[in-house]
Structure 1
Amino acid sequence: MVDYRPIPDERDVFHEYRSYAFRPEEGVPAYDPEDHETPRDALGSRRGVYEEGAADDAEPRSVCRHYWLESRVRDDVHRTVGLASVATPPEYRRRGYVRQLLARSLAEYRDRDVRFSVLWPFRYRFYGQYGWDTCTRIVTHECEPGVLSVAADAVDRDAGSFRRLEADEYEALEPAYETYAERYSLALERDEEWWRYRVFAGHEQNPFIYAYERDGRVRGYLVYTMNGIDGDRTMVVSELVAADHDAVLALLSFCYDHESQVQRVRLRVSDDVPIRALAREPDEIETTVEDGPMVRVVDVAETLSALSYPDRDATVTIAVEDSLAEWNDGTFRLAASGGRADCRRLRDRSDTQPEVDIRLDIGALSQLVVGFQSAATLERTGRLEATGASLETISTLFPETTVFLGDQF
């Protein structure tokens, strides 16, 4: 058994654990509050697990950070937590401390009525065993800036203009971001601190942020850095937000206008941004697709009861396997009507099972709920078992949607 508690007074220890886990090549880190306790670093809540009954000044066995967020899932905003900085020093590894840390974290999320947990994994298999599963594909396009000249030819340059923004002007970007975020499941609802210290501020260097204005309104913006030196410089776009297609063209044209300054442009976007479709020379674009963050439903009964649904009357019984959260490991009855639903746990999986329509694990259910995978795909890949007409029913209740969570934390 362990104690799970906040670690606000051990920030140097937290910094040491995190540095060893993610940047060991830098050697033993020197903790400096001025460098390592910036407003960006101070976001979120630090947690640790300790030996049961350990003194207040004892070292934690494993640590993590929780970012208390909100995200949009199926047209509604839900409490979401970003799990980050999970780290265990080598002398405490392979003793089950991370598992206990994750289990206790989930219990805290449940107590706080959080619906979804998201994280960026160092290894997908590691977090997959604890019930998180992939929820986003990240597409990266890289090319010479001249390849984007097609956008410059298509856009009306006199229709809009660009200007660089500072953090104090973040509110100017919010309408464009909100229009953009409505298209994506799991897109975060950003508050002032997130804008100031996660979007406008970076770890190594603060990014440039340029807004595209048309008809007196911001219709899109770019967040980017310049990496490298003269002769080998890349414009790295970490966020491209556009309220409409004309804004997409304008933003790509802005990248093209850096042709005399950079040798490459790298764009990190959702897979529905039609960069290759726009290009005259798509073979000159190097495109890679990789898995992004992972998601997990915190409490099956509460989350499925809180979602919005298509307007259809339907009832389905779902058996869920969850080895980390006992309150999810069981059979649930989901009854939907008029766009809402009630989900109730029937019994533990260890008990005699009632008639079950759908069987799946918590990771597959999480993908289904946020819309990243369809029920048909999960069944085809062996992640979901369905009886009778229940596959059609669950497919109707949980249609596939466009999911994109690009925020790093």
Structure 2
Amino acid sequence: MIIRSVSPEERPAVSLPLQQYAFTASPGPGFPFDPRYHHENAVLAAFDGERALACATRIPMTQNVRGRVLAMAGVAGVAAAPDARRGGHVRALVDRHLADAVAEGFAVSALYPFRTSFYERFGYVSLPEPARVTIDPASLTPLLRADLPGEVTWHPVADAYDDVRDLHTRLQRTTHGVAMRPAGNAAWVREANESWAAVARVAGEVVGALVYKITGHHGELAGGPLLAVDPHARALLLGFAARHVDQIDTVTLTPHPADRPELWSTDIAVTAAVRSTPTDVFAPMARVLSVPGLAGIDVGTGEVTVAVDDPLTGGTWRLRSDGGTLAVAASDAEPEAVLTGHGLSALVYGVLDPAELPVRRFAPTLPAPVADRLRALFPPVTPWLVEPF
């Protein structure tokens, strides 16, 4: 087996057939590929002679981790030929991508798994899956009677693309977990122009956006992430959806995982559903790639010395709050706790309480006083990845 990089021009013949076989109905046309939107990606493939056995893509992205925007390696397009599966090819590709990402200075990584347990072997930990919210638009009509300054305008997504991306960028600066593709990689959304965009403004400033499609008359207003800077902006967008009450039967969208849609309006008719199965998992996963790279993220109080048992982030580290931001230093002191890479990532992303780490085998043991100190240093916070990739 030889592993090498695959250029954008090679991908239609090398990696794309493997990805289409793995992720689309086949035989069939698969999904379109335009190399203009893939030059920023790093694609590796494993070869037996001239034949590609497996492939994997790394997208150079960014992510807000507890208040600081860090370089994030997005892993995607991981696929293998059916007669080459379970041969270690994908493992070798992912290992190479992660090693390269560390060498290039990426602090964190995220992906959407085909199976959680597979990527857990690489040190990834699950993030919350945002609920898919289904709303009866008639129950949103009271919002139209509310005195809400501002307006919502309706556009083809190509016309509103810059406004939506600018809002996404602004939300990333303030929202834990929000990731973004690089500009060139994301531009296909504008060029494809296959969706609508509702854009909320107050005093001329964009404060909310919802990209969506209409499935048909008496069908569904199928929206993506509900991007809003505050409840006022959210209400403006929901009011826009309510204006479709005679056209559609349901509104679907994805809010922040910590949101409570049942409290958005009086008498709202809403269902919030989270779907997760071992082989059909949509919840993202993430991991830390560099402990020193976390310096400066927002934390609570206190300090603790931990040993991390992980091929990428292994070592003994002194983690300390310096006026509310994290200070990191390698340490020769006796560690107060031993964490796996998953355990460290779970604390950094705020998805598990320290007491849960031994239950998940992310720490052999964790004395209660140490758990208290880790809890104080890494208080709970809910991440929202937002970006699909």
Provide TM-score, normalisation by structure 2.
0.87
What SS does the corresponding residue of 1:20 show, helix, strand or coil?
A: helix
Contact 2:143 2:238 in 1 (8 A): yes
User: Structure 2 vs 1, CA of residues 275 and 9 (structure 1 numbering), >3 Å: closer, same or farther?
Assistant: same
- Superposition pairs of residues 1-80 of structure 1, within 5 angstroms: 2-11=2-11, 12-23=13-24, 25-27=25-27, 29=29, 35-37=32-34, 39-40=36-37, 44-51=41-48, 54=49, 58-80=50-72
Contact 2:131 2:257 in 1 (8 A): yes
What SS does the corresponding residue of 1:36 show, helix, strand or coil?
A: coil
Gaps of 5+ in 1: 347-353
Q: Which amino acid aligns with 2:344?
A: L
Contact 1:131 1:296 in 2 (8 A): yes
What is the CA–CA distance in structure 2 between the aligned matches of 1:101 and 1:66, rounded to whole Å? 10
Contact 1:213 1:219 in 2 (8 A): yes
Candidates 366, 371, 384, aligned match of 1:404: 384
1:292 and 2:283 are equivalent in the alignment = yes
What is the CA–CA distance in structure 2 between the aligned matches of 1:240 and 1:388, rounded to whole Å? 39
- Please state how far the C-alpha of 1:103 moved relative to its aligned partner: 0.8
- Please state how far the C-alpha of 1:135 moved relative to its aligned partner: 1.7
Contact 1:4 1:48 in 2 (8 A): yes
Paired residue total: 380
1:106 and 2:98 are equivalent in the alignment = yes
Candidates 324, 327, 338, aligned match of 1:359: 338
What is the CA–CA distance in structure 1 between the aligned matches of 2:103 and 2:152, rounded to whole Å? 48
What SS does the corresponding residue of 1:386 show, helix, strand or coil?
A: coil
Contact 2:59 2:181 in 1 (8 A): no
Q: Deviations over 1:34-81 (max 9, x none)?
A: x42264466522211235xx5xxx222210111101111121111001
Which position in structure 2 is the counterpart of 1:262? 248
What is the CA–CA distance in structure 2 between the aligned matches of 1:94 and 1:179, rounded to whole Å? 42
What SS does the corresponding residue of 2:52 show, helix, strand or coil?
A: coil
Provide TM-score, normalisation by structure 1.
0.83
Deviates most, 270-279 or 248-257: 270-279
Contact 1:184 1:402 in 2 (8 A): no
Taking every aligned residue pair, what percent have the same amino acid on both sides? 24
What is the CA–CA distance in structure 2 between the aligned matches of 1:30 and 1:266, rounded to whole Å? 26
Contact 2:63 2:172 in 1 (8 A): no
Bigger helix share? 1
Q: Which amino acid aligns with 1:66?
A: R
Contact 1:151 1:278 in 2 (8 A): no
Q: Which amino acid aligns with 1:295?
A: A
What is the CA–CA distance in structure 1 between the aligned matches of 2:33 and 2:378, rounded to whole Å? 43
Which position in structure 1 is the counterpart of 2:217? 230
Candidates 308, 321, 327, aligned match of 1:320: 308
Contact 1:309 1:397 in 2 (8 A): no
Q: Which amino acid aligns with 2:163?
A: A
Deviates most, 242-251 or 176-185: 176-185
What is the CA–CA distance in structure 2 between the aligned matches of 1:93 and 1:394, rounded to whole Å? 40
User: Structure 2 vs 1, CA of residues 28 and 243 (structure 1 numbering), >3 Å: closer, same or farther?
Assistant: closer
Which position in structure 2 is the counterpart of 1:88? 80
User: Structure 2 vs 1, CA of residues 337 and 280 (structure 1 numbering), >3 Å: closer, same or farther?
Assistant: closer
What is the CA–CA distance in structure 2 between the aligned matches of 1:208 and 1:102, rounded to whole Å? 36
Gaps of 5+ in 2: 276-281
Q: Deviations over 1:377-401 (max 9, x none)?
A: 4356654432362222222222222
What SS does the corresponding residue of 1:177 show, helix, strand or coil?
A: helix
Which position in structure 2 is the counterpart of 1:393? 373
User: Structure 2 vs 1, CA of residues 107 and 195 (structure 1 numbering), >3 Å: closer, same or farther?
Assistant: closer
- Please state how far the C-alpha of 1:9 moved relative to its aligned partner: 4.2
- Please state how far the C-alpha of 1:194 moved relative to its aligned partner: 5.0
What is the CA–CA distance in structure 2 between the aligned matches of 1:404 and 1:243, rounded to whole Å? 14
What is the CA–CA distance in structure 2 between the aligned matches of 1:36 and 1:191, rounded to whole Å? 17
What SS does the corresponding residue of 1:138 show, helix, strand or coil?
A: coil
What SS does the corresponding residue of 2:187 show, helix, strand or coil?
A: helix
Q: Deviations over 1:144-181 (max 9, x none)?
A: 2112223223343x642424265365343455434433
Which position in structure 1 is the counterpart of 2:293? 303
Q: Which amino acid aligns with 2:336?
A: D
User: Structure 2 vs 1, CA of residues 9 and 178 (structure 1 numbering), >3 Å: closer, same or farther?
Assistant: closer
